[in-house]
Amino acid sequence: MEKGVLKGIVIGVIIGLLIGYVVASFFPVFKFQKEESLLEKIKKRGVLIVGTSADWPPFEYIDKNGQYAGIDIEIVKKIAEALGVKLQIKDIKFDALIAALKGGEIDLVIADMTPTAEREKEVDFSKPYFSDVFVFVSLKEAPISSIEDLYGKSVGVQQGTTQEDWAMENLKGKCEIKSYTKVYPDMVLVLERGDVSAILVSKTVAEVIIAKNPKLKIAFIVKGTEEYAAIA
């Protein structure tokens, strides 16, 4: 089966499962005392406002036409369609998404976000819809194939992500950890010019980055880092 066809089937299954869950079960948990529910507010407004961080292909990014695109974007388009409302997308720094949700600036967050215990103290999450692992990406010629090869070097991570959490917990004192607002293009550019020796991202994102940047490679997969993404 061609990759494009398979990807389309997978996305279709994900969207079908999510629409049923989000519309039927997710929205009702957001209640305001003596006020209408979030779902009622969205329907009255006629617009579903979704926050994302559009620097994480293939989940969310800005395409060559300046439009939001990606797997997560297709999911929220279908959710808005199921609700019978228009869709408004706000591009927000990843580490500011939960604050924007709590502050009422947006209705949902979809950004390949992992429902960690700390985040679940702040907001509610849907059922997970995707799983992935962490990988380090480096220049092809770099002699990096294990965590030990990174000791004494600089690594790049995105602010507010579970990759940043992992790096701080496992590499602090062994590597210089540099945090950036955006993965693409910021982290990719600093890697290409040698400001960092490797960047830590999810495997799916790494595959997209490498396809666009042939000078890069997946150096190695980080064991024990399987995580799940959900809508907040």
Residues 120 and 149 in one domain: no
Q: Assess whether 96 and 157 both reside in one domain.
A: no
Examine the fold and report which residue of 130, 154, 175 is the final residue of a domain before the chain moves on.
130
Chosen domain end from 81, 96, 130? 130
> How far, in Å, CA of 39 to CA of 18, rounded?
16
Residue 217 lies in a domain: yes
Are residues 116 and 56 part of one domain?
Answer: yes
Do 15 and 118 belong together in one domain? yes
- The count of structural domains within the chain is 2
Strands 47-52 and 86-91: parallel
DSSP state of 152: T
Same domain for 126 and 136?
no
Q: How wide is the angle at C-alpha 158 spanned by C-alphas 207 and 209, nearest 5°?
A: 20
Confidence at residue 26, expressed as pLDDT on a 0 to 100 scale: 55
Shared domain check, 56 and 119:
yes
The answer to whether residue 167 is domain-embedded is: yes
Both 153 and 123 in a single domain?
no
Q: How far apart are CA 100 and CA 13, in angstroms?
A: 29
Domain co-membership, 31 together with 115: yes
* CA 97 to chain centroid: 11
pTM of the model: 0.81
Residue ending a domain, choose from 130, 147, 162: 130
Instruction: State whether 165 and 176 are in the same domain.
Output: yes
Look at residue 232 and tell me if it is in a domain: no
In this structure, the answer to whether residues 28 and 124 fall within a common structural domain is: yes
Pairwise CA distance, residues 164 & 177, whole Å: 8
Within 103-160, residue ranges assigned H as helices are 117-122
CB 77 within 8 A of CB 52: no
Domain co-membership, 59 together with 172: no
Containing structural domain, residue 106: 3-130
Note the pLDDT of residue 38. 81
- Determine, yes or no, domain membership for 206: yes
Q: Is residue 175 part of a domain?
A: yes
DSSP 46: T
The answer to whether residues 23 and 45 belong to one domain is yes
Three-state SS at 52: strand
CATH number for position 190 = 3.40.190.10
pLDDT tens, the chain, 232 aa long: 334 433 443 455 455 545 555 555 455 444 444 457 888 889 899 999 999 999 999 999 999 999 999 999 998 998 898 889 999 999 999 999 999 999 999 999 999 999 999 999 999 888 888 899 999 999 999 999 999 999 999 999 999 999 999 999 999 999 999 999 999 889 999 999 999 999 999 999 999 999 999 999 999 999 988 888 888 8
Query: CB-based contacts of 183: which residues, under 8 Å, 6+ apart?
Result: 55, 56, 158, 199, 201, 205, 209
